[in-house]
Amino acid sequence: MDYQYYDEPDYIDDDGGSEDIYPDHESSPDHRYYHNGNAYENDNSLMDRLGDSYANCILPSLGQVLSYLLPLLAGCLLSRLLTALYATTRQQQRRVLSPLHLINALCGLGMLYATLGERILLLLLLSGISYLLLQLVRLSPGLGKGQRGAVTIAVLCIGSQFIYELAIWQQREDWPQLRGLQMVSNMKVISLAFDMTATGTPGSSELRMPSILAYLGYIYNPASCVLGPWLSYSRYLDSLCHKPHWRRSLLQMLCNVLLCLLALSVSNCIAPALGELHLQDQDEVEATRRGGVSHWLLMYTGALSVRSSHYFVSFLSQALLAAAGQRLDSTQHASSQLLGDLVSRPWHIEWPHSLSALVRCWNVPMHEWLKRYVYAASKQRSRHNTIVAVFCTYIVSSLLHGMDLRIYLVLLSLATFAEGETMLRRHLATLSNACVAANPCPGAERCRYTHCPRQRGWRCFSSWLVAFTNVAFTLLAIFHLAYLGIVLLNETLTVETDHEMPFMFHWAAAGYLSHYIGIGMFMLYLFIS
C-alpha cells in the first residue's frame, strides 16, 4: 500500500507483516498443490539447475495451477455477466438489489464448493452464527450503541477461530486451508459490526442491518470469498451497480494472471534452486548450520520463496477482483491502470524505504482494515499513545492468524523493529533537518526538511549523504525481511537431510542478530533523545 503519512507522529500499522489475510505460505494454493520437492544434483551449474527447474518444476506447477485458476476466474466472470444482464433488463425500472446479492452468493458458494467440497458446510454454519450475533448486537439495548457491541463481535469471531482449531487439534491438515477463508469472513463481520454501530465518525454513516441475502452476498462475494481480500460492506454495495469497462477489466485480469504465474515459479522453483547452489557437500551443510555467509544467502532465498508465495496469492486476488469488477477500499496510489486495485505492492517490499513503509505495502486491504477498526480505536482509548496503538494492532493481526507461534514471534518482532526504526529515524531527521525519516519523501514541494535531495539536487554533498543513509536503512530492512521470513518456511533449507529443523533454528544460527539490532535501535533512540 502507499498510504503516505508525513505528519508526526508517523503511523505504523501491521497488515500481516509475515502472512496476510490469505492462507499461510505452506497452505497457500501454490504450496498446497504444486510444490515440487525433487532435489537437484549438487554438481550441476547454475544454468543446468535452472534448466532442470524449468522442466521438472515450473512447467508442472504452471499446468496444475491453471486447473485451479480457471474455475475461480470462471465464477467471477459468470457473476459479472449475470450482473450485467440483470442491469440491462432493469434499466427502465427501479433496480432491486436482492437478485444481485443472490448472484454473488451463489457464484461465491460455487467457487468455494469447487475448492473445499463438503467442508463448505462448516463455513456456512460459522457465517450463520455470525449473522445471529449481529442481530443480537442490534437488538440488545446495552450493546447496540457505541462500539461495545462491535468489540464483542470481534472477540467472539476471533475466539471462534481458536475454538475451531482446538477442536481439530488431531487433524491439523484441515485447518490451514480453512483458516484463511474464515479469517476473511471474520474481518468482514467485524467491520460490518463496527460500521453498524459507528456514530459521530467523520466521513462515515451508520449502516442498517443487512438482510440475510445481502449478508450472504457480501460474505461470499466471488471476488473475495476464496482468497480475500477484505472489502467493506459499503464498497460491496457500491460495486454492485457500478462496474469498470469490460475491456479494461479483462486486460487487468490477464496481466495479474501472468504475474501470478511468475510469482508461483519464483516461489516453488527458482528461489529454492538458487538457495541450493550454496549446498555443495555435507561439510558445507554443517558449516551452514553454524552460520556464516552461506546461511544468510539461504535465509534470503528461503524468505524470498515465502514472499513470492504471498505475491502469488495477491496477484491472483487482483485477477479475481478485475474479473468480477469489484473495487476495494483504497486511497491514492493504491491502484494501477495496468493491474487495477492493488492487494500488495511487491516492488516496494523487495526494496523497502523502511519497515513501517513495508508493512503498509504488504497487504493493502488488511492494512486499511487494521487502520480503521484497530489502530484508530486503540489510539483513542490509549490517550493518543502511538506505541500502545501500534502494538495492539500487531497483536490483533497475530490473533487473526490463529494459533501459530511463528506468526506471533514474527509479528511482535516486526512491531519492535519497525517502531524502533521509526522513532530513531524521526529523531535523526529532526536533529539533522534531513529527509531520513521512515516515511518516504513526499516530494520537493511538500518535504519540510532542508536537506532533501529533491530540493537541493545531487550536486550537494548533503544530498548524497541523505541518500546513503536511506539506502543503508533499506538494506537493513531487507536483512530483517530475510531474518523474519525464513521461520515461515515450513521446511528445512538443506536438501541432504530428511528431518526438519526447528523453525527457530535459523534465528539461533544467526545469533539472533536482527533482534539485537532492533533492540539496539530502541536503546540508541533513548540515548540520543
Picking from 200, 217, 243, the residue at the C-terminal end of a domain is 243
Whether residues 299 and 433 share a domain: the answer is yes
> 10 Å Cβ neighbour count for 7?
9
Whether residues 355 and 398 share a domain: the answer is yes
Please report, rounded to a whole number, the percentage of residues in the chain having pLDDT higher than 90.
39
For residue 134, give its domain range.
96-243
Confidence bin at 116 (pLDDT 50/70/90): confident
Whether residues 182 and 262 share a domain: the answer is no
Amino acid at 477: A
Whether residues 356 and 481 share a domain: the answer is yes
Picking from 243, 270, 294, the residue at the C-terminal end of a domain is 243
Asked if the structure places residue 12 within a domain, the reply is no
> What's the average model confidence in pLDDT over 20-32?
38
Give every CB contact of residue 520 below 8 A, 6+ residues apart in sequence: none
Whether residues 523 and 461 share a domain: the answer is yes
Helix (H) or strand (E) holding 340: strand 340-341
Whether residues 230 and 266 share a domain: the answer is no
Q: 204 φ, ψ to 5°?
A: -130, 155
Whether residues 233 and 262 share a domain: the answer is no
**Tens digits of residue pLDDT in 393-441:** 999 999 888 888 888 999 999 999 999 999 999 999 999 999 999 998 8
Instruction: Please tell me the predicted confidence (pLDDT) of residue 98.
Output: 87
Asked if the structure places residue 74 within a domain, the reply is no
Asked if the structure places residue 304 within a domain, the reply is yes
Asked if the structure places residue 386 within a domain, the reply is yes
Whether residues 164 and 263 share a domain: the answer is no
Asked if the structure places residue 522 within a domain, the reply is yes
The Cα–Cα gap between 174 and 25 comes to 15
Asked if the structure places residue 180 within a domain, the reply is yes
Assess whether 401 carries a catalytic annotation. Answer: yes
What's the pTM value of the predicted model, to 2 decimals? 0.85
The Cα–Cα gap between 344 and 340 comes to 11
Whether residues 447 and 312 share a domain: the answer is yes
Whether residues 234 and 309 share a domain: the answer is no
Catalytic residue among 25, 101, 367, 401: 401
Whether the pLDDT of residue 523 is over 60: the answer is yes
Picking from 243, 266, 290, the residue at the C-terminal end of a domain is 243
Whether residues 138 and 204 share a domain: the answer is yes
Look-up of cell digits 491502470: 337
SS3 306: helix
How many domains is the chain built from? 2
Angle of helix 355-362 relative to helix 461-485, nearest 10 degrees?
A: 60
Nearest Cα to 311, choosing from 3, 77, 31, 14?
31
Asked if the structure places residue 519 within a domain, the reply is yes
Instruction: Please tell me the predicted confidence (pLDDT) of residue 386.
Output: 81
Whether residues 212 and 269 share a domain: the answer is no
Asked if the structure places residue 75 within a domain, the reply is no
**Tens digits of residue pLDDT in 338-393:** 899 999 999 999 999 999 999 999 999 999 999 999 998 888 776 657 888 888 99
Query: Distance between alpha carbon 409 and the CA centroid of its chain, in Å?
Result: 17
Confidence bin at 466 (pLDDT 50/70/90): very high
